[in-house]
């Protein structure tokens, strides 16, 4: 592994990230909050300064054309950790502890939406704008953004892009990977602008429309309102955000093909999309019935909150239109099931991903069929295409590691907190990048009162989940580092 080349690549990210961090400073200055702009200016200076040091150290290795796959994985992982640390610096200056600042920053960048904040009145508007902006940057990935706009990465952008982009398969829409990244971000930006306009038309002020739109399309869930979307008490806003959450959880590459290439057939024949929408419809109907039986008198209110919460948890957005921690167990069980599924591949959503659920189901059907016809040749197909052996292995490995990490982290946090609900639901909410759980860490609760060790574990879970586990786990093996040194 060429450490100077990695430092040079990291410098590009940190320098650009330092520029981005000036946006909330400008926001504070526009609000005439001059003192509140200083934390962001200082954090931007630290990011840019660190990037400049890395650039000077790696100045002899600025040709990224022969970046190895292992180096790409390392660049992606260290960038997410570095961005989380640097992104947490403003929170330090606003009085958060180092662990809380890192937790809040990682929760934003990974679009988890879990928060340690308990009193929203303590911080200025620029503070909440930064929280929303970090989620928007992390929605499709910091590195995917920089691959799109920075030509320095060249052909190395392909290795970095596929190591970072969410989903189990390679979403290549155009021959050049930089054009693919630009296409994804074009769809992302367009939908964000559309939602801002829709929310303002529904009566939200520009600031609230902006912050909530940034976090909706990122499937993040940070809202400037301490009661999340429930605090606006606006049915139109609730339904608008529900619709855009559905889009945030769908494959952005597919939306690009529909919007800019006019290829509706690709959308119509997507089995993952059909399963995704089918899960939403069935779950909303079931949850509406449960809410009418136990909590609600009005079918309109029950349908609204059922649709919102199913989509919010399924796409891992983590918004709340009601305090679902107060719902009865059957209704909460429906939402718990959504935590296991997640959004589509190539979306801003986290979790296991719908395509992997589809693959597991098809694989189980295949195994049952082979018990009856042991000599039959039965490939596992998705969208009428046989899934290759490499992709099958990756999917099975992901599911296995996901369950192991949930079990290990859940047990460990349960022992620390002496509470199985916090341990396991908190693990599912963080590793799946969902955000809120139930009880004390529910939609109206906070992760702020948890033990420091639990916060550290959940921070690692959030980053591991955002990195799709495999790149993160590869670098925990001694073989990776021996192989790296040999290179």
Which range is least confidently modeled, 7-16, 61-70, 246-255, 354-363? 61-70
Q: What is the pLDDT of residue 154?
A: 45
To which residue do tokens 């490939």 refer? Answer: 379
Which range is least confidently modeled, 7-11, 49-53, 237-241, 263-267? 263-267
Q: What is the pLDDT of residue 149?
A: 47
pLDDT digits (tens, 9 = 90+) for 138-149: 887 765 655 554
Q: What is the pLDDT of residue 265?
A: 77
Which range is least confidently modeled, 140-149, 174-183, 187-196, 437-446? 140-149
pTM: 0.89
According to DSSP, the residues that pair with 386 across neighbouring strands are 381
Q: How far is it, in rounded angstroms, from Cα 487 to Cα 2?
A: 8
To which residue do tokens 């920075």 refer? Answer: 150
In terms of pLDDT, which residue wins out, 247 or 269?
A: 247
Contact 15, 55 (CB under 8 A): yes
> Please, which pLDDT band fits residue 163 given cuts at 50, 70 and 90?
very low
Residue 485, pLDDT > 60, answer no
In terms of pLDDT, which residue wins out, 69 or 124?
A: 124
Q: Residue 402 has which token pair?
A: 């996901």
> Please, which pLDDT band fits residue 306 given cuts at 50, 70 and 90?
very high
Of 275-279, 325-329, 370-374, 480-484, give the range with the top mean pLDDT: 275-279
Residue 182, pLDDT > 90, answer no
Q: How far is it, in rounded angstroms, from Cα 78 to Cα 430?
A: 19
How confident is the model over 459-475, as a mean pLDDT? 82
Contact 321, 305 (CB under 8 A): yes
Which of these, 184, 242, 254, lies nearest to 216 by C-alpha position? 242
Q: What is the pLDDT of residue 102?
A: 96
> Please, which pLDDT band fits residue 176 given cuts at 50, 70 and 90?
low
Task: State in Å, rounded, how far the first CA of the chain is from the last one.
Answer: 5
Residue 141, burial from CB neighbour count under 10 angstroms (0-12, 13-18, 19+): buried
Which of these, 16, 53, 19, lies nearest to 149 by C-alpha position? 16
Helices and strands, counts by H and E, the chain: 24, 2
Residues 6+ apart with CB under 8 A from 301: none
Residue 471, pLDDT > 80, answer no
Q: Residue 471 has which token pair?
A: 């790149």
Of 67-71, 169-173, 266-270, give the range with the top mean pLDDT: 266-270
Chain centroid to CA 473: 18
> Please, which pLDDT band fits residue 177 given cuts at 50, 70 and 90?
low
Q: What is the pLDDT of residue 185?
A: 83
Contact 356, 168 (CB under 8 A): yes
Average pLDDT value for the chain:
85
Residue 228, pLDDT > 50, answer yes
Q: Residue 299 has which token pair?
A: 């079918």
Q: How far is it, in rounded angstroms, from Cα 68 to Cα 61?
A: 13
How confident is the model over 347-367, as a mean pLDDT? 89
> Please, which pLDDT band fits residue 256 given cuts at 50, 70 and 90?
confident
> Please, which pLDDT band fits residue 42 given cuts at 50, 70 and 90?
very high
Three-class SS of residue 234? Answer: coil
Q: What is the pLDDT of residue 482?
A: 60
Q: How far is it, in rounded angstroms, from Cα 116 to Cα 97?
A: 10
Of 61-65, 306-310, 385-389, give the range with the top mean pLDDT: 306-310
**Domain layout of the chain by residue ranges:** 3-260
Q: What is the pLDDT of residue 252?
A: 86
> Please, which pLDDT band fits residue 116 given cuts at 50, 70 and 90?
very high
């Amino acid at each position: 592994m060429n450490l100077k080349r990695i430092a040079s690549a990291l410098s590009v990210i940190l320098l650009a990230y330092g520029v981005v961090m000036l946006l909330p400073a400008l926001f504070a200055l526009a609000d005439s909050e001059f003192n509140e702009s200083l934390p962001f200016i200082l954090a931007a200076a630290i990011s840019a300064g660190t990037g400049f040091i890395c650039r000077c150290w790696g100045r002899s290795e600025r040709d990224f054309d022969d970046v190895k796959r292992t180096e790409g994985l390392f660049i992606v992982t260290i960038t997410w950790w570095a961005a989380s640390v640097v992104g947490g610096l403003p929170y330090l200056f606003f009085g958060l502890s180092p662990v809380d600042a890192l937790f809040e920053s990682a929760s934003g960048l990974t679009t988890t939406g879990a928060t340690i904040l308990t009193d929203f009145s303590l911080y200025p508007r620029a503070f909440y704008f930064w929280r929303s902006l970090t989620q928007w940057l992390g929605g499709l990935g910091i590195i995917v953004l920089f691959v799109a706009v920075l030509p320095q990465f060249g052909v190395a952008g392909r290795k970095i892009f596929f190591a970072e982009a969410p989903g189990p398969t390679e979403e290549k829409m155009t021959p050049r990977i930089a054009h693919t990244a630009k296409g994804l971000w074009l769809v992302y930006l367009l939908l964000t602008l559309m939602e801002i306009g829709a929310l303002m038309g529904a009566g939200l002020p520009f600031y609230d429309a902006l912050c909530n739109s940034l976090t909706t399309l990122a499937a993040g869930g940070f809202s400037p309102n301490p009661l999340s979307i429930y605090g606006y008490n606006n049915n139109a806003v609730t339904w608008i955000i529900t619709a855009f959450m559905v889009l945030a959880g769908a494959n952005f590459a597919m939306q690009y093909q529909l919007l800019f290439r006019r290829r509706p057939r690709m959308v119509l024949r997507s089995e993952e999309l059909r399963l995704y929408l089918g899960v939403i419809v069935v779950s909303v109907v079931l949850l509406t019935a449960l809410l009418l039986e136990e909590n609600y008198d009005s079918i309109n209110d029950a349908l609204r909150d059922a649709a919102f919460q199913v989509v919010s948890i399924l796409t891992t957005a983590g918004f709340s239109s009601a305090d679902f921690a107060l719902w009865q167990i059957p209704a909460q069980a429906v939402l718990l099931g959504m935590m296991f599924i997640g959004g589509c591949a190539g979306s801003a959503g986290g979790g296991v991903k719908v395509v992997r659920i589809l693959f597991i189901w098809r694989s189980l059907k295949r195994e049952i069929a082979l018990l009856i016809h042991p000599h039959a040749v039965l490939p596992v197909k998705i969208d009428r295409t046989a899934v290759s052996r490499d992709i099958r292995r990756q999917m099975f490995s992901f599911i296995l590691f996901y369950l192991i990490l949930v079990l290990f982290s859940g047990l460990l946090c349960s022992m620390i907190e002496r509470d199985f609900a916090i341990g396991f639901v908190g693990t599912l909410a963080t590793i799946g990048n969902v955000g809120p759980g139930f009880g004390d860490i529910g939609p109206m609760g906070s992760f702020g009162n948890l033990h420091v060790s639990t916060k550290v574990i959940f921070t690692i879970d959030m980053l591991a989940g955002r990195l799709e586990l495999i790149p993160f786990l590869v670098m925990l093996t001694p073989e990776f580092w021996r192989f790296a040194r040999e290179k």
